[in-house]
Chain A
Amino acid sequence: MTDVAQAIRDTARRLLADGRVDVVIGFEAGTLPLRSSPCFVRDAGDTDRLVWNMTCENNLARYLPRVEEKAGIVAKGCDARSIVGLLTEGRLERERVYVIGVPCQGILDRRSIERRLAGKEIVQAQEGETEVLVRGEGFEVALSKEEHLHASCRACRSRNPVIYDTLVGDPVAEGDGADEYADVREFEAKPAAERWAYFLAQTSRCIRCYACRNACPLCYCRTCFTDVTQPQWLGRTTDPTDTLVFHIARALHVAGRCVDCGACDRACPLGVDVRKLTRKMEKDVEKFFHHKAGMSLDEPLPLATYSLDDPEDFVQ
């Protein structure tokens, strides 16, 4: 067990014992290798369930608007930015949440590891300093953690929580200043027909399970536009036009709020490239409105404010 995990347990135990919070939202070991599950600890004696490793992939801020008690939450850099988002949007009162900030080294991309193993079943995984050791029937390989980081973690520029009450572990070095949106730019440069074919192929896989929406910390609407029947904004089929429009509309709804935590991408059971759209919006918001979501409690939401010199070259 790592020092960070121990520190999280100690902090959680103290918070619960002192009655400072009613519940601590963190991670516990999952039932499968390379998986951790979100868990809710309500008893100070139960804090040894909590773990911390590179498979803690959910964005726990997701649960905050729904938990009505005072909550302690284990927050990575992206979770903390989502919490800032929820606070800014009035979904959460600052006093109701105790943020246990954890500087994050990035999260492993399970799918990339599975691809690397070409379908062989992983029975056990053990995380080392720079490598993760995966074992299965008749094989044992050490894989570089760096190589198998999730794409959103590769692009991450806020590994250290922007907001916290306690910081657990030492701050880590932030990602370099290299072009943050190189991937988006590269895709933008492709011909429109190619982009269209890509999105149609991607969204053809979508089964409308809404796992992306349900994993998103900012998709807290009581009634989602996809569930509305009067008016029915879009069809509920898995026809690629319906699924594509769903993903476009979702990207627009989280535009200027999305912190690119990658939870939607990791939640998707079919590996649809959900981030392709949300990242484009993130880039545009930064370019057009000079706003980066979840970095400051004082900035208004970019789509709830305006500036006199916003771009309008597209208007006749």
Chain B
Amino acid sequence: MAFLCHWCSYAGADLAGTSRLQYPPNTRTIRVPCSGRVDPLFIIRSLLHGADGVLVAGCHPGDCHYLEGNYLARRRFALLKSILEYVGVEEGRVQFAWVSAAEAGKFAQVIAEVTESVRALGPGQRLIKSKAKETL
């Protein structure tokens, strides 16, 4: 599951497409106005509903269309990532990246890396109802 900000990362993905860059087809993209729009609950809910990994990508710090959305998001995500790993959800299920509208190459690379690292973790189980108890 990839949450891409409209102004940078989504445009970066678009550029990757029009540039004919190859990257794994494993992500489902949700366009959001800003990485600051991404509530930690979006990420948690994705995991609950079976996403094996979640990526949030937004503008580089300082480049936010709304000036400070990604700075605020950065604080929130730092805590989200920390608490998920604290309870024992595997590191790497939730990932974050800054991808600008010009960074088509970086976008393709991030998707490739995220896909590879999530595949290495295997299917998400810990937050999935019928499977959580099997993880013990």
Contacts and interface: CB of A to CB of B under 8 A. Distances in A.
- Of B61, B84, B88, most buried by chain A (CB within 10 Å of CB) is B88
Interface residues of B, number: 40
B120 interface: no
A315 B90 contact: no
Interface string A176-211: 000000000000100011111101100000000000
A193 B72 contact: no
Contacts of A306: 68, 71-72, 74-75
A312 B87 contact: no
B82 interface: yes
A87 to B, nearest CB: 22
B30 interface: no
A252 B83 contact: yes
Contacts of A141: none
A162 B46 CA distance: 41
Interface stretch (A18-26, A53-61, A241-249): A241-249
Contact of A314 (B78, B126, B127): B78
A122 interface: no
User: Chain B binding site: helix, strand, loop or mixed by DSSP?
Assistant: helix
Contacts of A312: 61, 74, 78
Nearest to A239: B129
Nearest to A252: B40
A270 B97 CA distance: 40
Contacts of B135: 196, 200
A306 B97 CA distance: 18
- Of B86, B89, B129, most buried by chain A (CB within 10 Å of CB) is B86
Interface stretch (A5-13, A91-99, A281-289): A281-289
Nearest to A245: B44
Given A234-B48, A312-B61, A280 B86 contact: yes
Instruction: List 7 A-B pairs, minimum CB-CB distance, nearest first.
Output: A196-B88, A306-B71, A316-B97, A195-B88, A315-B96, A199-B87, A192-B88
Given A197-B136, A308-B61, A312-B74, 14 more contacts: A192-B90, A196-B89, A199-B88, A233-B41, A234-B45, A240-B133, A248-B44, A248-B87, A249-B40, A249-B44, A280-B82, A280-B83, A312-B61, A316-B97
